[in-house]
Amino acid sequence: MKPPHIALEQITALEPVCLRAAVPEGYRDSNGHMNVRWYLALFDDASDTLHEWMGLTPEYHAAHHTGTMDLEHHIHYLNEVMPGDLVTVYVRFVGSSSKRIHYLMFLVDDTRGKLAATLECINAFADLEKRKTAPFPAEGAAKIAARLAVHAGLDWAASVSGTMQPDFRSRYGIPPYGIKR
């Protein structure tokens, strides 16, 4: 199911910006556009920047034997992206628990002025010694809470897929929260 239209001005106002990149020629497939596997690669690279913004740098993870892991995601492919196009990934926080975060990412094709794809994700902080999810460190949790409060006040609906609603809350231990529809 296609998500509702969201004005590019609303998406490009989101912070933090997680990625700006030019699509390499090597991402071209036999149809001449960027292959689907590279959408996830761009979103994954953007999530690295998001985690670093939360204080979860590679150095932090190495020192504390921690990491982050995607538990579930859903991608909407909306418009094709071509090699050479300039793209930007923005994030909108939707919900969180002590160990998990639910967010949306928006891949904007700046060259064509279009929303190319969205990613809905449940991501968890992990203790890699125990191989289990663990609470986010205080600094990261505070940044999540602050940005979640800002994003909850936006005047446009978070375009959640529906495939991860409503049972993801109980499955991932995320308390109920309001989602504008």
* Per-residue model confidence as pLDDT tens digits over 127-148: 999 999 999 999 999 999 999 9
Q: Which residue has the higher pLDDT, 61 or 170?
A: 61
Dist. CA 106–CA 104, nearest whole Å: 7
Dist. CA 19–CA 38, nearest whole Å: 14
| Tokens 């203790």 found at | 127
Which tens digit of pLDDT belongs to each residue from 87-137? 999 999 999 999 999 999 999 999 999 999 999 999 999 999 999 999 999
Q: What is the pTM of this model?
A: 0.89
Enumerate domains of the chain plus CATH numbers: 11-172 (3.10.129.10)
User: What confidence score (pLDDT) does residue 146 get?
Assistant: 95
Per DSSP, which regions of the chain are E strands? 17-22, 66-77, 86-96, 100-109, 114-127, 132-133
Does residue 168 sit in helix, strand or coil? helix
Q: Which residue has the higher pLDDT, 26 or 179?
A: 26
- 171's enclosing H/E stretch is helix 168-172
Q: Quick one: what percent of the chain has pLDDT higher than 70? A: 88
Dist. CA 144–CA 42, nearest whole Å: 21
Structure tokens at 104: 């949306």
Which tens digit of pLDDT belongs to each residue from 152-162? 999 998 888 76
pLDDT over 90 (residue 180): no
